[in-house]
Amino acid sequence: MQTSTQYFQEFFVNSPSEFLNELHSELSYYQRTKVITMFDIYRIRKRVLPMFDILISAQSKSYEDIINIHENIVLQAIREELNLSDVTQMANENKYMLRNCFKVFMNSMPSDSPI
């Protein structure tokens, strides 16, 4: 069975423009949402973060090159914290910062051309 990272890596290689459109769609959703739910955290873990990893890798960058330290800490907590309730509360307490982080990623994505 494929992991989500393997799936998105294959998706990126086979169709970079569709991959970028999908990532943009995911990030746009979080720009509009008022409350971050446990389902959102699960979605960020399984979809958004693996897509970020692939995008950053393709650009030969690191998270530190794109976002500030506080945003990076929140993304790491979302990735690693086992208690979904705690991470959901933390994400909601930092939702404006998280939105800004996603906006930075949206702005760093190539517009038309594949990476």
User: 12-58: per-residue pLDDT in tens?
Assistant: 999 999 999 999 999 999 998 889 999 999 999 999 999 999 999 99
pTM: 0.88
8 Å CB contact between 111 and 84: no
Give the list of residues 6+ apart from residue 50 with CB closer than 8 angstroms, or none.
3, 4, 5, 7, 8
pLDDT at site 113: 47
- Give me the helix-helix angle, 69-80 and 84-93, nearest 10°: 160
